[in-house]
Amino acid sequence: MPDISERGKLMPASPIRKLAPLSDAAKAKGTKVYHLNIGQPDLPTPEKALEAIRQIDRKTLEYSPSDGYRFYRENLVKYYNSYNIDLSPDNIIITTGGSEAVLFSFLACLNPGDEIIIPEPAYANYMAFAVSAGAVIKTVPSTFETGFALPPISKFEELINERTKGILICNPNNPTGYVYTAEEMEKIRLLVKKYNLFLFSDEVYREFIYNDMPYVSACHLKKIEDNVVLIDSVSKRYSECGIRIGALITKNKKIHDTVMKFCQARLSPPLIGQIAANASLDEGELYMQSNFNEYLNRRNYLLERLNKIPGVSSPVPMGAFYTLAKLPVEDAEDFCAWCLSDFQYEGKTIFMAPASGFYVTPGLGRNEVRIAYVLNINDLDIAMTLLEKALAEYKERK
C-alpha cells in the first residue's frame, strides 16, 4: 500500500474533537455527556436568519460569485463601519467559514518554509492550516500567571529571521479569552511596520468583550493597512456555525486578487449561508445584548465555581466564551479521556478539550483544559459538580 503524504503525517489531530469517539461510546452506553470541549453556541440563531431560509423561493440553488454576493458585502460594510472599520465591498471576500479565510490567507501570503509567529496557546486549527500551506509556526508562549497577556515584543523579535513573513493574533482570544489592550496592539503595529510583516488577525469574537477596554481591531492600526488581513465569521456572534460563512478582509489589492484565485478554484461560498448571514445583520441590538449578557453571566458563574474546586484555578477571561483552567492532574488529556471512558456520576459525565493541543511547545499546557461556557447556567452547575467529583475519583483510582 502506498504511504500517505508527509503533510498528512504532520497534520495535527484536533484537541477539540479527537476524543469524540470516547464521547460517542459513552453516549451509546446511555451516559449523558456535557460538552465543554467545543465552541458551539447553544443560543438561538437569529429568527430573521431562520425566516430568510424558510422564505427561499428560488427554482435553482445556483453558484454564488466567488467572492460572495455583493449585496451581502455591501451590508457588511455598514456592519464594520459600526466598529469604526472603514471598508468598501471590494475589500471583503466571503469565505466558507473563518477557517477558509485563514487557509486562503496563508496560501496567498506564505511560501512553503515561510514562518509565522503566533502567541501560544492558540486555536489549534491555525497549526493545521499552516501545515496545509507548508508554512512553519513559531510560537511565543504567553503565561497563565499574566492571564495570557501579550508576551514581551522582544520575544517576538528573537524569532524573526529572513523566513519570517507574518504574525497571527486572535483578539479576543481563543482559547484563553484574553483581549489585547490598545497598548499591546500598538506594540504589534510597530513590530509589523518595522519588519514589514503580514498581520493576520482573527476577530470573530469582537461582540464578546466583558471589560471596559475598547475593541482595537487590526484594521484600526495606522500605516500598516496593506499588511493586515482580518479574519471573520458569523459562526459565534449569530450562533450560525453550520452555515459556514466567514470573511477575509484586506485593503491590499495584491492579496485580494491572489486570494480570489483560490476562491475561483473552489467556485463559491455557500448560497443559503449567505442569505441567512445577510438577514442576521437586521436582527437588531436586542439580540446581541441578550447574548452578551447570557455569556457574561455564564462566565461569572463558571469562574466562581471553577476556582472553588480544590486544586483548580483559572484566570478571568475578558472576552470570547472560553477559559483555560489548571487541574490538579499530571496529564489533562489522560484525565479528559478517563472522564469519558471510565467515569460517570448519576449517569452523567463531561467532555473537555485538553489544552496541550493548543500549544506547539512540547510540555506546555499538560495540566490544563480549555472549557467553553456554551451551556446554560444549570448545565454548567451540573458540569462543575461532575468535574469536582471526577477529580476526586481520578485521584483515588489507583
Average pLDDT of 7-19? 81
pLDDT surpasses 90 at 212: no
Structure confidence at residue 273 (pLDDT): 98
The CATH H-level superfamily of 6-44+286-396 is Aspartate Aminotransferase, domain 1 (3.90.1150.10)
99: pLDDT strictly greater than 80: yes
Per-domain boundaries in the chain: 6-44+286-396, 58-280
Q: Mean of the pLDDT values across residues 372-382? A: 97
Residue 93, C-alpha cell as written in the block: 471576500
Of 8-22, 170-184, 218-232, the least confident: 8-22
Query: Letter for the amino acid at 124?
Result: A
| pLDDT value of position 136 | 97
Global pTM reads 0.96
At 225, which helix (H) or strand (E)?
none
* pLDDT, tens only, 122-170: 999 999 999 999 999 999 999 999 999 999 999 999 999 999 999 999 9
For the residues 213-227, what does the mean pLDDT come to? 96
CB 352 within 8 A of CB 370: yes
The C-alpha atoms of residue 123 and residue 197 are separated, in whole angstroms, by 21
Q: Which of 27, 202, 58 is nearest to 126 (CA)?
A: 202
The answer on pLDDT for 10 being more than 90 is no
Q: What is the pLDDT of residue 361?
A: 94
CATH number assigned to the domain covering 58-280: 3.40.640.10
β-pairing, 246-249 with 92-95?
A: antiparallel
Instruction: Give me the residues paired with residue 354 across strands.
Output: 369
Q: What percent of the chain has pLDDT over 70?
A: 99
| Bridge partners for 303 per DSSP | none
Average pLDDT value over all residues in the chain: 96
Q: Is the pLDDT of residue 310 over 80?
A: yes
Q: Stretch 9-37: mean pLDDT, rounded? A: 90
Check residues 8 and 141 and name the one with the higher pLDDT: 141
43: three-class secondary structure by DSSP:
coil
Predicted confidence (pLDDT) per residue in 312-341, tens digit:
999 999 999 999 999 999 999 999 999 999
Measured from the Cβ of residue 66, the count of other Cβ atoms closer than 10 Å reads 18
| Interval 253-282 mean pLDDT | 98
pLDDT at 398 over 70: no
Q: If phi over 0 gives left and psi between -120 and 50 gives alpha, with beta otherwise, what is residue 392? A: alpha
